[in-house]
Amino acid sequence: MIAQYMVQPSSFMHIQMQMSQLGEIYLFKFNDELQDRFEALLQQRKQQDLTPEEQAEFAGISELSRIFTIINAQLATQSKWCPPKFADLSDNAPSLSANTATPPNI
């Protein structure tokens, strides 16, 4: 495990997040301001142009994004519209296979 400096993800949560309804559930997501900041930091990071303070901010926002992804995945799995198993996705799907007959060799 590598130690790194990070702005605590919880410091972004109370003012920089929103809930978005998707079907019967609400998902966590960044508000526009935090999403724009995250994308700006990502661009700077790609250019290796982040200050140590910006690196800590980027690490905190990235961690919060991972937390939201995990929570949202769990919410989606428990909702009625998301099947609990991958195999359930094809239960009501139309069959795309075709029966073909091969003529006997004459």
pLDDT, position 98: 45
Q: Higher pLDDT residue, 89 or 72?
A: 72
Q: Where are the domains of the chain?
A: 10-86
Q: Is the pLDDT of residue 96 over 50?
A: no
Q: Is the pLDDT of residue 38 over 90?
A: yes
Give the mean model confidence (pLDDT) for residues 99-105: 50
Contact 54, 38 (CB under 8 A): no
Pairing of strands 17-22, 25-30: antiparallel
pLDDT, position 42: 95
Q: Is the pLDDT of residue 2 over 90?
A: no
Question: Which range scores top for mean pLDDT: 10-14, 42-46, 88-92?
Answer: 42-46
Tokens of 46: 């790609």
Q: Give dist(CA 24, CA 75) in Å, integer.
A: 10
* Whole-number Cα distances in Å, 62 to 28, 45, 52, 55, 70: 14, 12, 15, 10, 13
pLDDT, position 91: 52
Per-residue pLDDT tens digits for 39-87: 999 999 999 999 999 999 999 999 999 999 999 988 888 876 554 555 5
